[in-house]
């Protein structure tokens, strides 16, 4: 069926613009508002009206760049549109329609890719896409009676998007010190993550792994993968019927919004503080409210793995934040409690201007993970847009945690839209405490297993097993090594003869 459809269409021959051409076109849009902002910053008479006019002009310029160039600029616009509490309202309004408004590929181009990668295997295949994004578009299909979603990568998109992100890094470098967040660090992390987003085999593995992490009492729906049909450029998965949060014309009804907040908070807490592997792009277009009222999380092209040490320190921060004792005298917690939080944040790599120490790192932790209405220590304000935001005082933020922070601020942004007080730390502290218990149990089990190995090693030394293995057994008893095929070989085989022999 697909073969006949492809043969009746001329081959798609879209010509990609070169990186240099796209660079010139991007800076044509970016330079005028950048110049305006720099002039206003240097002016001693600029007022709120002048800044509002500059924001409108800048937002319109970025929207024109997105409409003309697409690519990674669309993904950046999605982030801006979803964070009304982080960016000036002029930008959020101008970019609000970007999440689902990317022109789809011609049907012939899509079907050609699907035929090449999967063969003519689908009982049904809807040529009109369910949605089109900067990297790929998704079509509904039926495979062996199973309703599926088929994600098809846009030909040539990898080279295009990597060029785009480099232009945004250059713009962020020019704006360093003039924005509440060092966006150069953010874009550098996204650039590193972007390469994996073009490999749908990795995305399928990520989806399966997160689905397994949340398998016990799942807080949200993670689609299952059809492995036999998935490849680097095509991903076939369960079809989930639902409405993206980005398509809600107004703020979702409060019961729906609270259910979404609860599901997102639990899912990300379990993933980040558990295995440390999590979805790194939870913007409203990737969140579906299903027909049964459940929340589904789709698009696993951006994921992140953080280390065990980072997970343990993050968990300790959540517990310390949740256990603070607040009073009129100490609205953010007792000094010794704040100092502990500051030390933990510093251990993660959070650094501020020396004049804002020692409270600064604690203020960053509260700003990212606790109630947005709370007064911050050190005289900081809990608004990303305020010149007195702790983000302005940051001199270093760990690159590995940029996407943890992004997930946090997206969840807090939804809470702000709903007008509810929401503390991630309070919810995640319970997950962190449970994870500590699990880790202790695993450690005890590991020690029991090691004792069993030592007993077996003792029996080997006593001659109950072949003398050939005694060197390895002695090494285990002395805790110099652990079992592996390599250590076994090293223990029982003679050393290689030297060249002088």
Domain definitions of the chain by residue range: 2-101+158-191, 107-155+199-305, 308-432, 440-492
The predicted pLDDT at position 9 comes to: 36
Residue-wise burial string across 194-229, b where 16 or more C-beta atoms lie within 10 A, e elsewhere: beebbbbebbbbbbbbbbebbeeeebbbbbebbeeb
Instruction: Summarize the confidence of residues 225-253 as an average pLDDT.
Output: 89
Residue 458, pLDDT > 70, answer no
Report the pLDDT averaged over residues 26-32. Answer: 90
**Residue 483 above 50 pLDDT?**
no
Question: CATH topology for 107-155+199-305?
Answer: Transferase(Phosphotransferase); domain 1 (1.10.510)
Residue 413 has pLDDT above 70, yes or no: yes
- DSSP-derived secondary structure letter, 465: S
pLDDT of residue 265: 95
Mean pLDDT of 260-264: 93
Q: How far apart are CA 256 and CA 261, in angstroms?
A: 9
pLDDT classification of 415: cutoffs 50, 70, 90 = confident
Q: How many percent of the chain have pLDDT more than 90?
A: 35
Pair 319, 432: CB distance under 8 Å? yes
> How large a percentage of the chain has pLDDT more than 70?
77
Given the DSSP bridges, would you call strands 234-238 and 242-244 parallel, antiparallel or unpaired? Answer: unpaired
182 assigned to active site: no
Instruction: Indicate if the pLDDT at residue 456 is higher than 90.
Output: no
Report whether pLDDT(410) > 60: yes
As a whole number, mean pLDDT of residues 256-279 equals 94
Alpha carbons 466 and 375: distance in angstroms, whole number? 69
Q: How confident is the model at residue 473 (pLDDT cuts 50, 70, 90)?
A: low
Helices 470-477 and 424-461 pack at an angle, to 10 degrees, of: 140
Q: Is the dihedral of CA 72, 78, 79, 85 positive or negative?
A: positive
Give one DSSP letter per residue of 126-189, joined into a string.
Answer: -SS-SEE-SSEEEEEEEETTEEEEEEEEPTTHHHHHHHHHHHHHHHHHHTTTSSSS-HHHHHHH
At 464 the pLDDT is 53
Indicate whether 213 pLDDT > 60: yes
Answer yes or no: is pLDDT of 15 > 60: no
Least confident of 78-87, 121-130, 295-304, 384-393: 78-87
What confidence tier does 80 reach under pLDDT thresholds 50, 70, 90?
confident
- Average pLDDT of the residues in 411-419: 83
Q: Is 465 left (phi over 0), alpha (psi -120 to 50) or beta?
A: beta
pLDDT of the residue at 454: 64
pLDDT digits (tens, 9 = 90+) for 321-344: 999 887 766 777 888 999 999 999
96 pLDDT band, cuts 50/70/90, is confident
Separation of CA 389 from chain center: 23
What was the pLDDT predicted at 3?
42
Number of Cα atoms under 13 Å in the Cβ half of residue 456: 10
Average pLDDT rounded to a whole number, residues 115-124 = 96
Better-scored residue on pLDDT, 372 or 117: 117
pLDDT beyond 90 at 292: no
Query: What is the rounded CA–CA span in Å between residue 307 and residue 332?
Result: 29
171: pLDDT confidence band, cut at 50, 70 and 90?
A: confident
Average pLDDT score over residue span 431-448: 72
Rounded Cα distance between 414 and 216, Å, is 26
User: Which token pair is 5?
Assistant: 């459809």
Range of weakest confidence among 1-5, 240-244, 283-287, 458-462: 1-5
Q: Are 135 and 70 in contact (CB under 8 A)?
A: no
Give 324's contacts (C-beta < 8 A, 6+ positions apart): 332, 333, 334, 337, 338, 341
Nearest partner of 281 among 67, 134, 130, judged by Cα = 134
Q: What is the mean pLDDT of the chain?
A: 81
* For residue 353, pLDDT beyond 80: no
What average pLDDT does the segment 236-248 reach?
A: 90
pLDDT of 334: 85
pLDDT of residue 500: 45
3-state DSSP helix/strand/coil % of the chain, to nearest 5: 55, 10, 35
Helix axes 19-42, 157-174, angle to 10 degrees: 20
Q: Is the CB of residue 437 less than 8 Å from the CB of residue 458? A: no
In whole angstroms, give the CA distance from residue 467 to residue 361. Answer: 58
Taking residues 192-219, report their average pLDDT.
92
Q: Is the pLDDT of residue 403 over 90?
A: no
Among 164, 182, 281, 370, the active-site one is 281
Smallest CA-to-CA distance from 318 within 280, 368, 279 is with 368
Kindly indicate the confidence band of residue 226, based on its pLDDT and cuts at 50, 70 and 90. very high
Task: Provide the pLDDT confidence category of residue 2 given band limits of 50, 70 and 90.
Answer: very low
Q: What is the pLDDT of residue 179?
A: 66
pLDDT above 50 (res 222): yes
CB atoms within 10 A of CB 290: 14
How is the beta sheet containing 295-297 ordered, strand by strand? 242-244, 287-290, 295-297
- 393 phi, psi to nearest 5 deg: -90, -5
In whole angstroms, give the CA distance from residue 127 to residue 108.
9
Q: How confident is the model at residue 128 (pLDDT cuts 50, 70, 90)?
A: very high
Do the Cβ atoms of 126 and 29 come closer than 8 Å? no
CA 283 to chain centre: 10
pLDDT over 60 at 495, yes or no: no
More confident residue, 468 or 68: 68
For the residues 222-232, what does the mean pLDDT come to?
A: 97
Would you state the pLDDT for residue 345? Answer: 94
For residue 279, what are its two tokens? 């979805």
């Amino acid at each position: 069926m697909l073969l006949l459809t492809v043969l009746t269409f001329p081959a798609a021959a879209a010509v990609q613009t070169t990186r240099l051409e796209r660079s010139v076109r991007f800076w044509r849009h970016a330079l005028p508002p950048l110049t305006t902002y720099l002039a206003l910053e240097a002016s001693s008479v600029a007022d709120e009206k002048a800044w509002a006019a500059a924001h409108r002009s800048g937002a319109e310029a970025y929207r024109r760049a997105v409409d003309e160039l697409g690519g990674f600029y669309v993904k950046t616009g999605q982030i801006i549109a979803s964070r009304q509490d982080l960016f000036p309202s002029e930008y959020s309004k101008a970019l609000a329609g970007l999440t689902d408004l990317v022109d789809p590929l011609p049907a012939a181009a899509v079907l050609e890719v699907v035929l090449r990668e999967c063969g003519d295997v689908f009982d049904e295949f809807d040529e009109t896409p369910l949605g089109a994004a900067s990297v790929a578009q998704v079509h509904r299909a039926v495979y062996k009676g199973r309703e599926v979603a088929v994600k098809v990568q846009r030909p040539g998109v990898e080279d295009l998007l990597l060029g785009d992100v480099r232009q945004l890094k250059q713009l962020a470098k020019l704006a360093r010190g003039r924005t509440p967040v060092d966006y150069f660090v953010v874009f550098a992390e996204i650039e590193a993550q972007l390469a994996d987003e073009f490999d749908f085999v990795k995305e399928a593995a990520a989806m399966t792994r997160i689905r397994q992490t949340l398998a016990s009492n799942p807080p949200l729906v993670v689609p299952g993968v059809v492995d036999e049909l998935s490849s680097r450029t095509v991903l076939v998965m369960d079809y989930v019927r639902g409405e993206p949060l980005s398509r809600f014309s107004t703020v979702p009804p409060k019961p729906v919004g609270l259910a979404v907040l609860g599901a997102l908070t639990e899912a990300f807490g379990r993933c980040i503080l558990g295995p440390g592997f999590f979805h790194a792009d939870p913007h409203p277009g990737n969140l579906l409210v299903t027909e049964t009222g459940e929340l589904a999380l789709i698009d696993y092209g951006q994921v992140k793995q953080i280390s065990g040490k980072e997970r343990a320190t993050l968990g300790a921060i959540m517990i310390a934040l949740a256990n603070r004792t607040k009073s009129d005298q100490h609205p953010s917690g007792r000094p010794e409690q704040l100092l502990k939080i500051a030390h933990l944040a510093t251990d993660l790599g959070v650094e501020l201007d020396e004049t804002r120490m020692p409270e600064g790192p604690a203020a960053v932790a509260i700003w990212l993970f606790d109630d947005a209405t709370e007064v911050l220590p050190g005289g900081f304000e809990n608004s990303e847009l305020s010149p007195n935001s702790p983000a302005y005082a940051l001199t270093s933020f760990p690159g590995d945690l940029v996407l943890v922070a992004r997930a946090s601020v997206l969840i807090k942004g939804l809470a702000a839209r709903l007008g509810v007080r929401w503390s991630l730390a309070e919810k995640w502290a319970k997950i962190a405490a449970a994870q500590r218990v699990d880790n202790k149990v695993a450690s005890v089990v590991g020690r029991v297993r090691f004792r069993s190995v030592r007993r077996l090693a003792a029996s080997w030394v006593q001659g109950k097993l072949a003398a050939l293995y005694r060197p390895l057994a002695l090494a285990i008893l002395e805790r110099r090594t652990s079992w592996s095929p390599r250590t076994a070989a090293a223990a029982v085989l003679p050393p290689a003869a030297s060249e002088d022999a």
